Chain A
C-alpha cells in the first residue's frame, strides 16, 4: 500500500518538476511510437485496403495470417528485427542496432499487422455497401481502395489508436533492439522494467502512471482530431 501512495507522490513530483530524465525518456517513447505508428499506418492502410478490394489466390490465407500477427508477441518482433540488424545479420552494415531507428522498425513490424487487419475489416464492411455503386461509376480497383480508405476514416482512426496503444505499451521489442541504453534508447517501458528489477517498485509504478497519463492524452488528442474530422467530413 505504501508503494501505491509513494508511486502517486513520485509520479506527481516527476511531472510537476518536469524531471529532465523523465522528459527525455517520455519524449523518446513518444517519438519512437508515434513514428512507428505513422509508418505502420501508411503501410497498414495500403495493405488493408488492397486486401479488401483485390481478389487473388491466397488472399484468404494472407488475411488469416494478418489476423494471427495481430497477436505477435513484442519479444518475437524484437528478435526478428534483432536478427536482421545484428552485425552478424543481413542488415548489420546499416549499423542500426541499439538506435531509436531500430526500435521504430521493430514497432512497425509489431503494429502494421494490427492496422492492416483492422483497416481491411473496415474497408470490407464499407465495400459491401459501396461495391455496386462504385463499379457502376466506373471506379478502378485502385480508386475503390482510395475511396474506401477515405470514407472509412473514422474506423481507421480507431485502428491507428489500437496500434498506438500497442506500441507505447510494449517493452519486449524495444528492449531487445534498443538495448535500454541510458540517454540513447531508454524509453518509458524499458525504464519501468529497469526500475522494477532494481526493486524501485514505487518509482517504476510512478513511471507507469506517467505513461498511462500520456497514453490517455495522446488518445484524447487523436479522438478530438477524429471528432473534428467527423464534423468536417460528413459521417
Chain B
C-alpha cells in the first residue's frame, strides 16, 4: 500500500461505506424474505416419531400420499421413542408414532394421549459380522443367541437411549436372565444414539446389535454385516399411533392429528405402508384393527 493519497478514489469514502452497508442489508433482507425455506401453508401437524421409521424411508413414501389427499402437511420430528413421548408430554407434537407398547400405554393411562392404535409392525433382527465370533447364525431363539454373545463376551452395541429398540433389547436380556448392563464398557457398548449411529458403531467395532429390519434394510454402511438371528416371536416390533390429548395442551391440532391417525389405520394408509419396499422386500407390515 502506498503511503498516502493514492487510496482516494472519485467516490467519497462516506458514500462507498454506505453502499457496502446497503448491499449487506439487502442481502440479509433477501435471505429473510426468500420463499422456499418455509412452506407458507399453515395447515400442518407435528408428528413425534422415531429414527427407525425416518431412517427406513417410510415417511418419504407415505406422507406425500396423505398430504395429497388431505392437504395437511406432516412435519416429522424423529427422535427415540422415549424422547418422542417426552416431547409429546410437553405438548410439542400432535401425534406420536412410536414402538414401545408399555410406554405408549402408560402415556395414554396418564392422560397425555387419547386412544392408542396398532398401526404396523416389523421385526427386530440381530445383526453381526459375517465371521460371527459367538456362533449365533441361524439360531431361532433370541435368548439363546444373547446367552452365547454374553458367554463369549463378544462386543454388543446397545442403543442405550431409552428408545423403543432399546426397551425391546432390555426385555430380551431380561428374558435371558443376563445382566448385560453390568458389563457396560466391557463387551456391552451403550452408544446412547439413534439406530443408524448405533449401526455405524457396531460395524466399526465388529459388535452384534439389535435393529429393526426397516432401518437395517435401508442402511447403507453395512460393511460385511449380516442378519444372523430373525423370526423369533420375541423379536416382534409393534408400532402404535396416538393423538396427543388436546385437553392437556390446547395447541394440539386435534382434528388434523386425528385425520392422520385415522388415515394410518384406514385401508388407504395400510395399503400405503404395505407398498413400501426396498429391493423388493417389504419393510413394514400393517396390522391395524379397524374399529378396535
Contact = CB atoms under 8 A, between A and B. Distances in A.
A–B proximity contact (CB within 8 A): yes
Contact of B28 (A38, A184, A198): A38
A219 B222 CA distance: 37
Nearest to A200: B220
Contacts of B16: 228, 232
Interface stretch (A84-92, A109-117, A161-169): A84-92
Given A198-B55, A201-B220, A181 B76 contact: yes
Interface stretch (A29-37, A46-54, A135-143): A29-37
A186 B89 CA distance: 24
B39 A183 contact: yes
Contacts of A182: 59-60, 75-76
Nearest to B25: A38
Contacts, number: 103
Given A86-B91, A200-B220, A225-B20, A31 B13 contact: no
- Mostly, the A contact residues are helix
A199 B77 contact: no
A30 B31 CA distance: 8
A120 B133 CA distance: 59
B38 A100 contact: yes
Given A27-B36, A197-B197, A97 B92 contact: yes
B292 interface: no
Contact of A87 (B75, B91, B196): B91
Interface in B15-38: 16-17, 20, 24, 28, 31-32, 34, 36-38
B13 A87 contact: no
A196 B77 contact: no
Interface string B271-291: 000000000000000000000
A180 B199 contact: no
A80 B193 CA distance: 21
Contacts of A228: 16, 20
A201 B39 CA distance: 29
A86 B46 CA distance: 13
A35 B32 CA distance: 7
B221 interface: yes
Contacts of A201: 220-221
B38 to A, nearest CB: 6
B270 interface: no
A100 to B, nearest CB: 6
Given A35-B31, A86-B92, A197-B196, A98 B75 contact: yes
Interface of A: 24, 27-28, 30-31, 34-35, 38, 86-89, 92, 95, 97-100, 179-184, 194, 196-201, 225, 228-229, 231-233
